Amino acid sequence: MAKLNEIKWLKDEDPDYIIDPLTQIINRKFILKIANGLVEDKIPFALMILDLDNFKQINDSYGHLAGDFILKSIGEALVNYYSKEIFIGRYGGDEILLLIPNLVNYEDVHSFLEGLYTKDKVLRKYYNDGTRDIYLTASLGCATYPNDASNFEDLFSKADKALYRGKTKGRNCYIIYVEEKHKDIVVREKSEGSLIEHFKSATRIFDIYRDKKYIKHMMDFLYSELHCSGAYFLTSNDEIISFKDEKAIKTNVDYKPHLEGLLRGDSIFYQTPLSKFKQNDKKLRDFLEKRSIQSVLIVKLDTFGIFNGYIMICEKEITRVWQESEIALVMYAASLLELKLKID
């Protein structure tokens, strides 16, 4: 990171007021001051908004000391990642802004971000706090000045649209703003009642449809709401009912041992990444790789003591980070499906 005492926009400031005390990167006030200074001086730069995935879950599961450790670690890793001029600041909570002067060419930006997400340097890696390994991913949106906007407000808005697109794709990815692709994106915050509305929609499907039509419509619903690569119901009779197919497809694939290998006695699986599970089970690795599956969310239907199959939500493009609301929705759909099967 650039030396703060050499930054002309900060030369009259007390260094103690510039640095965020927890992460040891620039605080919100001064990272925004630098960003506006770059625009005022017409210096081209890339603006990146980085949002840690499931940070609340880290705090809730391991405690706030673990969360603090992650924030410190990501700040240090970002500072050490790039040897050229870069400004890194904590925008708020678990959001970090990166300002990189003279990095505006699409290929150069892509190369920077690809390195950030690979090679076990900053993201998609484990951080050990002395007690446990915590796997860290993030969603990132990027826009460049002056290519994408002529002022900071519009630039931030476009980077935020790119970030939002990354979140809707399942997180754990970066999106570089492209006007033709992303201009019509409307950034929406999920309302507290959204999960309840999803539950109501799933219940309406339960009320309206019968037999396997119900399963098909429920898979259509999950596919649409989760924006995933595929939503499947794998029956106890080796049939697959998907969002694509009007009829159940009989298969000779013995999928049960592979899914049970992931579940390990539980009724739900959603862990990220799958690499450690692939390493321990060659057949599982072959099963997943043959289908190009990067992430799965599996719920087993056996609440009533009778095995009825699995709901399997798949992601092929990225290693998806499943959200609590997404997991809750699939579990609720599984409960309705079990009840429907019992009634019918």
Q: Which two three-digit tokens encode residue 302?
A: 């056996």
DSSP 182: H
Residue from 289, 294, 312, 317 nearest 231 by CA:
312
Domains by residue range for the chain, with CATH: 4-182 (3.30.70.270), 194-343 (3.30.450.40)
Residue from 47, 41, 164, 43 nearest 96 by CA:
47
- In the chain, the N- to C-terminal Cα span, in Å, equals 64
**Cα distances (Å, whole numbers) of residue 175 to 39, 152, 250:** 22, 19, 39
Task: Tell me the per-residue pLDDT of 54-106, one tens digit each, with 9 for 90 and over.
Answer: 998 898 889 999 999 999 999 999 999 998 899 999 999 999 999 999 999 99
Q: Which two three-digit tokens encode residue 225?
A: 């709401």
pLDDT value for 75: 95
Give the distance, in angstroms, between the CA of residue 222 and the centroid of all CA atoms in the same chain: 17
- Rounded to whole angstroms, the Cα distance separating 84 from 151 reads 24
Q: Which two three-digit tokens encode residue 90?
A: 């904590």
The whole-model pTM stands at 0.80
Task: Tell me the per-residue pLDDT of 298-315, one tens digit each, with 9 for 90 and over.
Answer: 999 987 678 889 999 999
Q: What average pLDDT does the segment 207-221 reach?
A: 83
With cut-offs at 50, 70 and 90, classify the pLDDT of residue 192.
very low
Q: Amino acid letter at 266?
A: D
**Bigger pLDDT: 13 vs 317:** 317
- Rounded to whole angstroms, the Cα distance separating 217 from 45 reads 47
